[in-house]
């Protein structure tokens, strides 16, 4: 009998183990939609692979270089090798002083890339190289951010709103442009960490979780947001968001005890995680971001104490008095100078209409102020859904909605300062549009409700035909950017075509959507034909490529840690020949490199001529002039682009460019003589002033294929390297 009972129990247990899981249709559809969104996000981010599998832009090359140092140190010394990174002064950059890497880098990004690679290689026996892994790293984490945004927005707007938010992140051009293939830089990794941390923090208010889960979520959320600060300085913004959220929590009817305990753990772990690397380091405590967290936490603790000793009827009045006392205390605190200074870049973020006036900062494209047209091109109908989302959130009084409102409005505000920060506007519109979409959709599909009694009151539902029209309309406006031009004046066309952009080194750092071999030729020549300790003088844009791909020493790069050095390079280029060469020698340079872009034309009437302009020094010279402290009117005409004779005759850069003025043409392409007038474009003929066999102060050492005199007509993206004649004496 006992054996029969045991057999039945075993049968029941077996049936329980092998029972088919029950999944609702709704969850299946959501899962399928998320898979589709993730796949779409990944495809759009890896689109540049059609041009070649490389790191993108400039900074990712140094980030790869530093990550490679971490991996190699680990391979040589094990865990002890990680310590070498923090004492590493890289003498191949910013020669001769070098660069203290840990103090001047986003260390969290380097260790995030290195540790995840080591796990993949050592635990999963992957044979992929570090370079190939890091090329794909941003695309994967960028696509994964669609999942964290879904979870985050679902708390505020339900699954429908979460799906729309994930879709916005998947196709957002500001995010794709700063997180596509090869963009091993701060934003993709940090945004994933920050959105995951934000979601976990909001879940500590779930009443169904137990104490263990509560503590784990508080710790993880603090760690993720703190580590994000070490990977990207822009992540400090989230400290201000959560500081304000903690400050507002006593007014939102949440469990204040949960806020005090969870908030204390969250803030403590956040600050510790931020301080564990030199940047931002322990100064996070006096940084405005850290102070915002501490102030918010302090007020929430104070409000909890006030609530415990105050009559419930008097609580609001007591809380108001507490707010006033805290504000006065904060003013007094700041008056003693205990808040660390804010850099010019962060001041511009806080006050978008205040510009630094520093030509070095203003010369960087990502520091330009975004226009209204850029917002419309990026978001289209999402703008209107976002506006409706703001209205909806203002009617609510819960923690999740206030978080969405604070994040949304503040993100749009700070994104107005720099084009680079448009990624924050994508977070804002993803969240706000998700809320607006969910609200509109729920109103459209709300079922009719009938009343009881003799007179039945009925809340009429939207007719079925209108529901169908609504679905068609929403699909159309959301799909519009996929099939319509991204801008009326933009030949790129659709959002998909906007993602179809080669990585920078493939198109030579220009806007051309084609493969240009010139930089590959130059860097390969540099690596194979110059001595190991050769020092290259070049504009700071190219420093990372020279150091990492050319394996040679550079004087300056995109870290811009020494603005005086960059100004000196500008003076070298814009000074007269003798002074420019002297500056190059003082900098201990062996070679000077320049990059020129434009188009070579072979025409029956015009002959063989060149038109300059495409992203090289010919397009940056006005910034050389301003950064070097020269008078622009001396070298350029009123259009601030066309060079005067003084540029060609009296600057080292003008003499290094192998061109001389031929003629001018008007807007219709007709020859109009040798005098400049507004609206006329200059034509140039090839003339090398420092040939390889010459005996002047410089001698041509390398000339890339597309700029050579016998190169075929078409686009040229020429790289020229001149060797400095150290023995040359000017007459």
Question: Which DSSP state fits 310?
Answer: S
In a domain, 426, yes or no: no
Given a contact cutoff of 8 angstroms between Cβ atoms, the answer to whether 638 and 678 are in contact is: yes
Q: How far apart are CA 146 and CA 36, in angstroms?
A: 11
- Residue 731 is predicted with a pLDDT of 80
Of 731, 716, 604, nearest to 659 by C-alpha is: 716
| Its pTM surpasses 0.85 | yes
- Residue 488 is predicted with a pLDDT of 42
Q: 340, 355, 388: which is the final residue of a domain?
A: 340
Per residue in 362-400, pLDDT (tens digit) is: 555 554 566 666 666 677 778 888 888 999 999 888 999
Q: How far apart are CA 696 and CA 379, in angstroms?
A: 56
Given a contact cutoff of 8 angstroms between Cβ atoms, the answer to whether 463 and 451 are in contact is: no
Q: How many domains does the chain have?
A: 2
Buried b or exposed e, range 275-311, using 16+ CB within 10 angstroms: bebbbbbeebbebbbbbbbbbbbbbbbbbbebeeebe
In a domain, 274, yes or no: yes
Residues 6+ apart with CB under 8 A from 290: 239, 271, 274, 284
In a domain, 451, yes or no: no
465-472 contacts, C-beta under 8 A, 24 or more apart: 470/441, 470/444
- Mean pLDDT, contiguous 10-residue spans, the chain (731 residues): 60 58 82 94 92 93 97 95 95 95 95 97 94 97 96 94 93 88 94 97 93 96 97 93 93 89 96 94 90 91 84 73 71 58 54 56 54 68 86 90 94 78 89 91 71 51 69 75 53 62 88 89 97 96 96 94 94 97 97 96 86 93 94 93 95 96 88 88 94 94 95 95 93 80
In a domain, 67, yes or no: no
Q: Locate tokens 């669609």: which residue?
A: 146
In a domain, 429, yes or no: no
> What residues does 663 pair with on adjacent strands?
683
Of 520, 581, 577, nearest to 723 by C-alpha is: 581
Give whole-number Cα distances, 302 to 246, 330, 332, 365, 397, in Å: 11, 14, 18, 45, 21
Which residue blocks in 204-350 are alpha helix, DSSP H? 211-231, 236-248, 256-275, 288-309, 315-335, 344-350
- Residue 492 is predicted with a pLDDT of 43
Q: Locate tokens 């686009």: which residue?
A: 715
Given a contact cutoff of 8 angstroms between Cβ atoms, the answer to whether 656 and 720 are in contact is: yes
Q: 323, 340, 357: which is the final residue of a domain?
A: 340
Query: Angle CA(726)–CA(730)–CA(731) in degrees, nearest 5?
Result: 150
CA 220 from centroid of its chain's CA atoms: 24
Of 165, 30, 40, 147, nearest to 438 by C-alpha is: 165
Of 498, 664, 545, 723, nearest to 65 by C-alpha is: 545
> What residues does 36 pair with on adjacent strands?
none
- Residue 491 is predicted with a pLDDT of 41
Of 564, 556, 570, 566, nearest to 630 by C-alpha is: 570
Please compute, for residue 50, the number of CA atoms within 13 A of its CA located in the half-sphere on the CB side: 11
Residue range(s) defining the domain that contains residue 238:
187-340
Please compute, for residue 379, the number of CA atoms within 13 A of its CA located in the half-sphere on the CB side: 31
Instruction: Give the β-pairing of 553-554 and 535-537.
Output: parallel
Instruction: Give the β-pairing of 659-665 and 458-459.
Output: unpaired
Q: How far apart are CA 191 and CA 143, in angstroms?
A: 11
- Residue 155 is predicted with a pLDDT of 94
Given a contact cutoff of 8 angstroms between Cβ atoms, the answer to whether 671 and 692 are in contact is: no
Q: Is 194 exposed, middle or buried (0-12, 13-18, 19+ CB in 10 A)?
A: buried
Q: What is the greatest pairwise CA distance in the chain?
A: 116
To which H or E segment does residue 627 belong?
Answer: helix 617-628
Residues 6+ apart with CB under 8 A from 518: 508, 704, 705, 706, 707, 716, 717, 718, 719
- Residue 473 is predicted with a pLDDT of 78
In a domain, 401, yes or no: no
Q: 340, 363, 397: which is the final residue of a domain?
A: 340
**C-alpha R_g of the chain:** 30
Give rounded-to-5 percent helix, strand, coil for the chain.
60, 10, 30
Q: How far apart are CA 698 and CA 408, in angstroms?
A: 55
Q: How far apart are CA 47 and CA 517, in angstroms?
A: 20
In a domain, 242, yes or no: yes
Q: How far apart are CA 222 and CA 214, in angstroms?
A: 12
Of 617, 551, 552, nearest to 590 by C-alpha is: 552
In a domain, 408, yes or no: no
CATH number at 582 reads 3.40.50
Taken in order 333, 337, 343, 345, the sign of the CA dihedral is positive
Three-state helix/strand/coil letters over 494-518: CHHHHHCCCCCCCCCCCCCCCCCCH
- Residue 343 is predicted with a pLDDT of 54
Per residue in 674-702, pLDDT (tens digit) is: 899 998 999 999 999 999 998 899 999 99
Given a contact cutoff of 8 angstroms between Cβ atoms, the answer to whether 687 and 648 are in contact is: no
> What residues does 459 pair with on adjacent strands?
449
- Residue 340 is predicted with a pLDDT of 54
Question: Which DSSP state fits 643?
Answer: B
């Amino acid at each position: 009998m006992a054996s029969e009972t045991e057999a039945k129990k075993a049968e029941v247990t077996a049936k329980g183990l092998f029972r088919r899981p029950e999944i609702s249709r709704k969850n299946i559809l959501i899962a399928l939609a998320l898979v589709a969104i993730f796949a779409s996000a990944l495809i759009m981010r890896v689109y540049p692979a059609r041009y070649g599998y490389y790191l993108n832009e400039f900074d990712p090359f140094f980030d790869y270089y530093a990550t490679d140092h971490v991996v190699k140190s680990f391979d040589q010394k094990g865990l002890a090798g990680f310590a070498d990174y923090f004492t590493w002064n890289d003498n191949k950059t910013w020669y001769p002083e070098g660069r203290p890497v840990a103090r001047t880098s986003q260390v969290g990004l380097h260790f995030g890339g290195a540790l995840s690679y080591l796990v993949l290689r050592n635990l999963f026996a992957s044979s992929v190289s570090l370079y190939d892994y890091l090329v794909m790293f941003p695309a994967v984490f960028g696509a994964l951010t669609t999942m964290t945004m879904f979870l985050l927005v679902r708390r505020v707007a339900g699954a429908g709103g979460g799906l729309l938010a994930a879709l916005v992140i998947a196709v957002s051009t500001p995010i794709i442009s700063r997180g596509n293939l090869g963009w091993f830089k701060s934003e993709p990794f940090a945004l994933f960490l920050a959105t995951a941390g934000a979601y976990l923090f909001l879940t500590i208010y779930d009443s169904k979780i137990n104490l263990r889960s509560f503590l784990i979520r508080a710790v993880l959320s603090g760690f993720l947001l703190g580590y994000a600060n070490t990977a990207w300085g822009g992540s400090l913004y989230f400290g201000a968001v959560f500081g304000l959220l903690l400050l507002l929590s006593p007014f939102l009817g949440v469990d204040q005890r949960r806020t005090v305990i969870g908030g204390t753990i969250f803030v403590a772990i956040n600050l510790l995680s931020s301080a564990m690397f030199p940047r931002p380091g322990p100064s996070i405590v006096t940084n405005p971001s850290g102070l915002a967290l501490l102030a918010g936490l302090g007020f929430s603790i104070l409000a909890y104490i006030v609530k415990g000793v105050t009559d419930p009827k008097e609580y609001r009045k007591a809380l108001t008095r507490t707010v006033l006392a805290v504000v006065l205390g904060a003013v007094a605190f700041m008056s003693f100078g205990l808040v660390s200074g804010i850099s010019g870049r962060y001041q511009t973020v806080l006050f978008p209409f205040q510009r630094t006036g520093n030509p070095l900062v203003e010369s960087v494209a990502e520091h330009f102020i975004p226009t209204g047209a850029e917002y419309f091109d990026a978001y289209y109908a999402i703008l209107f859904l976002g506006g409706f989302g703001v209205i909806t959130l203002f009617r609510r009084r819960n923690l999740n909605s206030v978080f969405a409102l604070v994040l949304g409005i503040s993100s749009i505000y700070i994104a107005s300062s720099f084009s680079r920060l448009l990624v924050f506007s994508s977070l804002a519109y993803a969240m706000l549009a998700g809320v607006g979409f969910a609200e509109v959709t729920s109103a459209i599909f709300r079922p009719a409700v009938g009343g009881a009694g003799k007179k039945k009151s009925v809340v009429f539902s939207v007719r079925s035909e209108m529901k169908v029209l609504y679905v068609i309309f929403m699909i159309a406006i959301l799909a519009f950017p996929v099939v319509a031009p991204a801008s009326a004046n933009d030949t790129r066309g659709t959002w998909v075509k906007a993602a179809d952009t080669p990585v920078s080194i493939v198109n030579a750092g220009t806007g051309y959507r084609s493969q240009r071999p010139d930089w590959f030729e130059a860097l390969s020549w540099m690596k194979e034909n110059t001595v190991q300790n050769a020092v290259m003088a070049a504009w700071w844009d190219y420093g990372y490529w020279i150091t990492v791909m050319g394996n040679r020493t550079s004087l300056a790069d995109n870290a811009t840690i020494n603005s005086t050095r960059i100004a000196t390079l500008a003076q070298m280029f814009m000074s007269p020949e003798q002074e420019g060469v002297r500056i190059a020698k003082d900098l201990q340079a062996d070679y000077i490199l320049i990059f020129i872009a434009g188009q070579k034309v072979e025409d029956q009437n015009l002959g063989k001529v060149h038109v300059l302009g495409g992203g090289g020094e010919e397009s940056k010279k006005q910034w050389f002039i301003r950064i070097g402290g020269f008078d622009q009117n001396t070298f350029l005409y009123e259009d601030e682009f066309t060079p005067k004779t003084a540029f060609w005759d009296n600057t080292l850069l003008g003499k290094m460019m192998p061109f001389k003025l031929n003629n001018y043409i008007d807007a219709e392409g007709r020859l109009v003589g040798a005098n400049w007038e507004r609206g006329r474009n200059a034509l140039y003929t090839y003339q090398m002033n420092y040939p390889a066999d010459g005996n002047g102060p410089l001698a041509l050492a390398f000339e890339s294929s597309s700029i050579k005199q016998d190169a075929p007509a078409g686009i040229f993206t020429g790289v020229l390297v001149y060797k400095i004649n150290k023995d040359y004496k000017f007459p």
